[in-house]
Structure 1
Amino acid sequence: MILKVFKEKSNKKYLNKLLSERHVNVNDSKVESLGVIINIDEIDDFELFKKLADYIKVRPNKLKIIAFSEKKKDDLNSWDLCFNPKDFGWKGTINNMELQSFLDTEFDVLISYYKKEILEIKMITACSKAKFKIGILQTDERLNDLILKTNLNQFDLFKAEVVKYLTILNKIN
């Protein structure tokens, strides 16, 4: 129990370090790759994101969706990549090769679609090497470059806003 508290404290310190060193570099390069992080405990319809990627003309092989769950889920037959707190070590270390591979991919856009404030999922967003990060309003506004204030059940509104702002920023046609 005590070790869990120390581990969480070390990960919070690592997250704050990452966010304080982050430099936002928004350019007008077109969106060709898309990464999506969702909390499967809040929303489990990943087809929504496949449709969004198709709408903004991201090819299926350039789309990668990962899910996070606070509890271990063994019944996820259709889901490839689902992570939980056990995949994280001390000082922000990642204990899962597939998750590390996702974090090392330089996506043109990363969508963080979760509402619940969970340290590990925030670390995934912060550690990602994505060029442009889009997310739902969180208490820590340093996580994302574009923050949309929508509810999780308002995906059509979220999709419309993403398309609108990516068009304004000249990232899609």
Structure 2
Amino acid sequence: MILKGLKEKSNKNYIDKCVKNRVMVSNSNIIKTVGFIVDDSEFLDLDWINKLSEVLKVKKENFEILALTNPKSKTESVYLNTFSRKDLGWKGNVKTETLKSFLNKKNDLLISYYTLDKLPLVFTTALSEAKFKVGLIEETNVNDLVIKTDINDTSTFENELVKYLRILNKL
């Protein structure tokens, strides 16, 4: 238990370091690639996520979904690319290729669609190489744009996301 706490503390420190060192580049490039992070214990509407890629006019092959799963859960995840708390090492170290490839991909947009402040989700958002990050949670400073809405109110999130991306000339 002590080692688990120390490991989480080292990763929190690494998140803070990443947030402080992140350089926000102002550009109005059209969004072509999107990463989507979700907690599969909190949100399971894969159809809406796929519809969102059409609304954003992003090709399916350029829209990647990564879900946090609980390895102790007896139900299988609806998402293809998954990771768990066990995939995180010490001081920002990542153990699996699925998570490494997602984090290293330079997406134009990252959507962090979760409301629970879980370390693996915040860690993934902070370490992502995405150029612009949008999320629901504002307690952490990992998102560039926060849309405050209920996680199940997908239409409001979608409308607000499209509105702000148009204002920023990204659609």
TM-score, scaled to structure 1: 0.94
Match of 2:22 in 1: 22
The residue number in structure 1 matching 2:133 is: 133
Work out whether residues 136 and 148 of structure 2, in 8 Å CA contact, stay in contact via their aligned partners in 1. yes
Pairs aligned (count): 171
* Equivalent position of 1:5 in the other structure: 5
Q: Distance in 2 between matches of 1:138 and 1:70?
A: 24
1:34 paired residue number: 34
Alignment gaps of 5+ in structure 2: none
Identity of aligned residues (%): 39
Q: Report the secondary structure of 2:91's partner residue.
A: helix
After the TM superposition, which residues 128-167 of structure 1 pair with which residues of structure 2 at under 5 Å, given as runs? Answer: 128-140=128-140, 142-167=141-166
Asked if the contact 2:110/2:132 (under 8 Å) is kept, the reply is yes
TM-score scaled by length of structure 2: 0.95
Stretch moving more, 76-85 or 7-16: 76-85
Aligned-partner Cα distance in 2 for 1:78–1:71: 14
Any runs of at least 4 consecutive aligned residues in structure 1 with deviations exceeding 6 A, and if so which?
none
103-112 or 68-77: bigger deviation: 68-77
Kept in 2: contact 1:112–1:134 (CA 8 A): yes
Alignment of 1:3-82 (within 5 A): 3-73=3-73, 75-76=75-76, 78-82=78-82
The Cα shift of 1:154 comes to 0.7
**Alpha-carbon distance between aligned partners in 2 of 1:77 and 1:120, rounded to the nearest angstrom:** 17
**Is the 1:72–1:84 Cα contact (8 Å) retained in structure 2?**
no
**What is the CA distance between 1:100 and its match in structure 2?**
0.4
* Residue deviations 1:8-28 (CA, integer Å, cap 9, x gap): 111111111111111111310
